[in-house]
Structures are given as C-alpha cells and as structure tokens.
Chains A and B, each alone.
Chain A
Amino acid sequence: MTIYQDIIVDHYRNPRNKGVLEDATISESLKNYSCGDTITVYLNVQDDTITDVRFKGSGCAISQAAASILLENIKGKSINEVKKLTYSDIQELLGVKLSPARVKCAELALKAVQKGVTK
C-alpha cells in the first residue's frame, strides 16, 4: 500500500489554510533537519479556542499535507484539546502508518502548534 493516500496527495496539491494570518495571536516555526522541511503555523486564539489557522512552509509532501490536515482539524478546538493530541491522532488523520524516518515529517506541524500554545 502506498503511503501517498488520496487524502495526503489531495492536501499536498491543494493545501487548506495556506498563507499568513496577519492578526495571529500565536505563530511558531519549526524545521525538520533530516528532510529540510520547514513549517510556520499561525493561530488566532480567542477565549481559549482556536478561531483561525494558517500555515506556510516548504518540504516533502508528507510534512505539508500533514500540516494542512492538522490545521483544518484543530480549527474550533480548545487549547486543552490541542495539547492532548499525539502522533497517533495524526496517523489516524493521515490514514497510514509511516516509517520512523517519515514520522518526523508528519508530526512537524503538530509539534509547532503545541510549542506555540504552550508558550
């Protein structure tokens, strides 16, 4: 089975929420040194709820698709809910089991989001 499932290819080709959020209350950048992937996430948090999301970045399809899928998913969620997310939630969203080398790509956006909301 290919790891490049339709949902991954779709989000890679047509990323949702791509761009910069001018009025972001939180922004956080992370880099994956093994692939060279970079992700910056922008979150607008009002009363503990994520009301708007954007990301920009470059890198492999897995990292970019995972960012798009994750952000779509966390819009409307509370900070507490986002803090509790783990890689297994990402894996469920992506619908594939990745090799350890690619897990780093897939979890990059989640790590950036969690770092941002923990500050």
Chain B
Amino acid sequence: MINPHEIKKDFPIFKNNPDLIYLDSTATTLKPQGVVDALTEYYEDYSASVHRGLYPLAARATKGYEDSREKIAAFIGAASAKEVVFTRNTTESLNVLAYTFESLLQEGDEIVTTAMEHHSNFLPWQALAERKGLTLTVLDVTKKGELKNIDEVLKQAISKRTKVVTLAHVSNVTGVVNPIKKIVSRIKAVNPECMVIVDGAQSVPHMPINVIDLGCDFFAFSLHKMLGPTGVGVLWGKKKMLEILPPFLYGGEMVESVTWKKSTYKEVPHRFEAGTPHIAGVIAASKATEYLAGIGMEEALMHEKKLLSYGLSELENAFGSDIVIIGPKDTSSRIGSLAFLFKEHHPHDIAELLGEQGICVRAGRHCAAPLHIALAIQASVRASFYVYSDRKDIDTLIEGLKKVDAMLSK
C-alpha cells in the first residue's frame, strides 16, 4: 500500500514549502528528487547533442536518450521503442496527427470526437475539418459527464466514411474513464480502416496502460503529468501507422539523404523528431516512469481511488447539497480529478481564496469548454490527486472551503 507521507519525502518541493497542499496534479505533477537530479546531471556532466557527435559525451547523451525511449515504450506496453515519438507534450502529439492526416483525408470524410475532450484533442480536429471540408461529429455526454449510449451512438456515428475517431481515455475534469478497448473494437468492427486516436494524458499517469491491449492506432501523453519534466510528450503509434504519415517538421536529425532536388527521411520514430530535442527532459522522463513502476501502477490507481472516495464523502458530509460534484459519484468508472461547484461562489473566487491559504486547486473550464457547454455550467473548481496526496490534503481543502464560504456568503 502507498504511504504518501514517505512518498512526499522524495519530492523536494515539500521541503521547500512544508505547508503546501497541492491538489492540481491533473494540470501538472510535482517532481521527485531523482527526476530533478537527472536533469542537472545531464547539464553538469554530459550535455552534448544526441545522434551526431562522435565523442564519448555525445555517445552517453545518445544512449541516455534512446534508453529512455526503450523504458517509456516498455512502460506503456509498446511493441517496440520505434513506436515512441518524443514531442513537447500531448497537445503537440495530437497536432502532429491532425496536421499529418491532412494529406490523407478528402473532402467529405468524417472525423468523430467527443464532448469530453480537452481543447488539445478538440481544436486541432475542428480546425482540420474547417480547412478540408470534413464533417466533425461530437459525441455527447450524460449529465454525469459519461459518453451517452456508447453502443448505439457508435453504430450511428461510425461508417466507412469515418476516417478518424479521436477521444480521451480519461476526462481531465470529471475523471471519467472511457472503455477504450470496447470502443475501439466497436469502431473497427464497422470500419477496420478507421484510425483510432486516444488522448492518454490523464490515463497513463494514473493506471496501468498497455497500448496494444487497448487496440487503438495512436496514443498521446505528457510526461510532466506523471512526475517527469515539462516539455516532454509522447506520440505512440503502431509502427505501420506511423510509417504512412508524412513528416511534420523538416530539418536536422530527421533526414536520411539530401540532394538539391529531392531528399529522403529517416525511419520512424526519428522522422518525427526534427531539431535538437529536449534531451535532458527525455532522459529525466524515464526516471519518472521508473519511480512510478517502483510504486506500481495498480497501487497508484488504488491509492487515488481511495482518496477520491474519501474526498467525495467528506465533501458531502461537510457541505451536503451545497457541493455539486461534476461527474459520477460512483468511483468504479472514474479516477481522482474531482470537479465541483460550491454554492453560488464563483470558481475563480474559490480558487483564489484557497490559494491565499496555500491550497492549490484549479478553477475555470480546465481547457474543456465543450464539456462545460454540454453540462451547462460556466466553470468549476477542480481538486486532483496523485501518489503523494493524502487525507490531510482533503481535510485542509474542506477547512479552506469553510473559510471561503464565511468570506463570500451573502
């Protein structure tokens, strides 16, 4: 079982901010000492470029970078490290797909997404549909924020004209987990050619993931949401799928042969990694996945679910119907991103007043306006948990909310 008090000791931010109540891990997580050290070590000991240099420091940097690819591939159950493309973040991974798919799609083709997407998996496709004259279908959600009648809706939405279905594994607002494996098999049964893209930004950090088992074609996530540094993301794709995509960025490192007339490009994944990458970040990212693997993702998931249950029941005990939970109260189909409304208090006032007490939560639409529109709410407050979160964090949040209420109640 996870002992968050022990885990907290591995995170220097808690030494520097002993009273920190950090409940915004869905936005970005804190970093353990090992990750911070790996960044520093690269810059202090062997900060050379990768893939080119013929001297030992460069070889060490290249080995660190490519070893990290192997480790992260293993962490998500990829068939090979060649299927792991490093990007800046989930947003970039999804944009790479939306831009490279452009040449493969024709006017009249259909794209399907959902109302529970983060903007990073909504706007690139909306813009692509506008540019190319494609039809964008948005699958609706229930009042609890879960996909509506999945089987029936998919039957209606998916046809031979559907070229891309792109959806979140886990909502960054409600924590709702979509049954990806089932959804993929329903889609492929109707149209085996349809590409299925999964935004895994909120799933990989919180549960065991095996991309092969999920059955999707592409899977995107960010390392900074799972203890790693900012500026490192992954685009995983089945090798044969990545191979049909044209390069996205052209330049150094991605090219094989160049002539004045025509050039050829490296094989995947390097074809998609033009320019000097975030070498230190990529190397440190595998320290993050190692740390998580050491805890065990099943354990991490259980810990989070327990905290979520505790949070839901404590909020209800303290405030009854003054708190409205956005999302299902049943924790079996969701994880620990806890969004709520509190009386008539505006979420930004709540977050600011909690912030003044040292409690970090997010307020607003969480880059998920389509969901807020579907649920007819202006904005919400979100408290989210991770491996270092504990009951005291939730208790302090509740005390903080009581103070907010005393301050703002009319």
Contact = CB atoms under 8 A, between A and B. Distances in A.
Interface of A: 2-4, 9, 12-13, 34-36, 59-62, 101-102, 105
A56 to B, nearest CB: 16
A85 to B, nearest CB: 24
A103 B230 CA distance: 27
A60 B364 contact: no
Contacts of B107: none
Contacts of B346: 35, 59-61
Interface in B322-358: 346, 348-349, 352-353, 356
Given A9-B408, A35-B348, 16 more contacts: A2-B353, A3-B352, A3-B356, A9-B407, A12-B410, A13-B410, A35-B346, A35-B364, A35-B379, A36-B378, A36-B379, A59-B346, A61-B408, A62-B348, A101-B348, A102-B352
5 contacts: A3-B356, A9-B407, A34-B364, A35-B379, A36-B378
A13 B405 CA distance: 12
Contacts of B379: 35-36
Interface residues of B, number: 12
Contacts of B353: 2, 4
Contacts of B378: 36
A60 B356 contact: no
A61 B410 contact: no
B349 A62 contact: yes
Nearest to A36: B378
Contacts of A60: 346, 348-349
A2 B348 CA distance: 14
Interface in B352-368: 352-353, 356, 364
A75 B298 CA distance: 63
Contact of A4 (B364, B407, B410): B407
